[in-house]
Amino acid sequence: MASKNQGPAAPRALVVEDIKVDLVVLLRMLRKLNCEATVAHNGKEAVDLFLEGKTFDIVFFDKDMPVMTGPEAVTKIRGMGASGVKMVGVSADFGGLEAFMQAGADVFVPKPMKLETLDAMLQEVIGKKNMSG
Partner 1 sequence: MAAAALREQLNALLSSMYASGLVDDQFQQLQMLQDDGGTPGFVAEVVTLFCDDADRIISELAALLEQPVVDFDKVDAYVHQLKGSSASVGAQKVKFTCMQFRELCQHKNRDGCIMALTLVRNEFYDLRNKFQTMLQVVPYVLKGPFDFQVFTGIVKMEHMLLKLKRIACPCFLLKFV
Q: Which residues bind partner 1 (CB under 8 A)?
A: 19-22, 24-25, 28-29, 31-32, 64, 91-93, 111-112, 114-115
Residue (21 or 131) nearer to partner 1, CB: 21
Inter-residue contact 121 to 88 (CB < 8 Å): yes
Angle at 109 between CA 51 and CA 32, to 5 degrees: 80
CB of 22 to partner 1, least distance (A): 5
CB of 21 to partner 1, least distance (A): 4
Among residues 98, 85, 39, 38, which one has the least CA distance to residue 65? 39
Residue (12 or 63) nearer to partner 1, CB: 63
CB of 18 to partner 1, least distance (A): 9
Which helix (H) or strand (E) segment is 62 a member of?
strand 58-62
Inter-residue contact 74 to 88 (CB < 8 Å): no
CB of 37 to partner 1, least distance (A): 14
Residue (25 or 107) nearer to partner 1, CB: 25
Residue (3 or 78) nearer to partner 1, CB: 3
Q: Please state, in angstroms and as integers, the Cα–Cα distance from residue 19 to each residue in 15, 27, 33, 65, following that order.
A: 11, 12, 21, 9
